[in-house]
Structure 1
Amino acid sequence: MSLSHRERPFDVISEALSASESERKDAIKKGGAVFAFTLRNREGQVESWYIDLKDDGVVGRGIGPEGKKTDVNLIMSEQDFGQLIAGKANAQRLFMAGRLKVKGDVMKATRAEVVLKKAQVKAKL
């Protein structure tokens, strides 16, 4: 996964959220937070995306939607993010190994896996 291809998982999540109103409402109910993902590539470049599962069920670029506070920011390398999305890594193990940093509400961070699993399922189809 390279800097230019990082948006693909976020596109998949966005498509999953917009494809079905019931899926979107379910994700909002289970997520209940605004999640930011800050990813760093090998060259040290950093980009962020957010998933708003507090109100709207939308995905966008940046640290959070305008006018809203991000509940949790998950910071990791793009390689670890790729492994996480592919289902080859576990967020708790990455966190315990110091490869995933969490800023904000750690308890809400555990809810992010629900959405990431949607990306895994859609990516396999």
Structure 2
Amino acid sequence: MGASQSDNAHLSKADVVSRIKTRLASADIKKAQEVGGIFLFNIIKGTTVYSWTLDLNKVEVFEGEPEDDPDTTFTLNEHYFKQLVYGKEDARTIMQAGRCSVTGDIMRAMKLEPYIKLN
């Protein structure tokens, strides 16, 4: 298990999003649509920002920003993004510590764990 965790630390943001896309493909579509919403993630590394979108209305994941305004936008650095998706740190802890900026529908955002958590 230790080897796979260290491997995860070296995955690129795009690889992580690809894994989230694969996870979403196996999710219960009706349950995902019940949560609904468009979630924009802005992942910061140095001076660059990598954006990707989780659209639970259409049940899809893609790189870049959505055409419609997102219901919730998350802005956090790459380290905390990986901590979040690999379950090493709880979303509430990251937000309460000020490590993640969240704007929009925070209550709906709390229902994302089954769709973005990879472990």
Q: Normalised by the size of structure 1, how large is the TM-score?
A: 0.79
Note the 1:16-95 alignment, pairs <5 A.
Answer: 16-19=23-26, 23-29=28-34, 31-41=35-45, 43-54=46-57, 56-64=58-66, 66=67, 68-95=68-95
TM-superposed CA distance for 1:18, in Å, is 2.4
SS in 2 for 1:60: strand
Aligned equivalents of 2:30, 2:14: Cα separation in 1: 23
- 2:92 maps to a residue whose letter is Q
Residue identity matched to 2:18: D
Aligned residues: 111
CA distance in 1, matches of 2:81, 2:110: 15
Question: Which moves more between the two structures, 70-79 or 106-115?
Answer: 106-115
Instruction: Say if 2:17 is the partner of 1:13.
Output: no
| Aligned-residue CA RMSD (Å) | 1.8
Identity of paired residues, percent? 30
Q: Distance in 2 between matches of 1:19 and 1:106?
A: 25
Higher helix fraction: Structure 1 or Structure 2? 1
Instruction: Report if the CA contact (8 A) 1:50-1:59 is conserved.
Output: yes
How far has the Cα of 1:111 moved from its partner? 1.7
User: Structure 1 runs of 4+ off > 6 angstroms?
Assistant: none
Map Cα deviations across residues 42-74 of structure 1 (whole Å, 9 max, x no partner): x221111000002x101111121x2x2210001
Question: Compared with structure 1, are the counterparts of its residues 51 and 24 closer, same or farther at alpha carbon in structure 2 (3 Å cutoff)?
Answer: same
Measure, in 2, the Cα distance between the counterparts of 1:81 and 1:113: 12
Cα shift readout 1:13-47 (whole Å, capped 9, x = no counterpart) = 21122246xx2332222x31111110001x22111
- Gapped runs of 5+ residues in structure 1? 121-125
CA distance in 1, matches of 2:26, 2:106: 29
Q: In the alignment, is residue 107 of structure 1 matched against residue 107 of structure 2?
A: yes
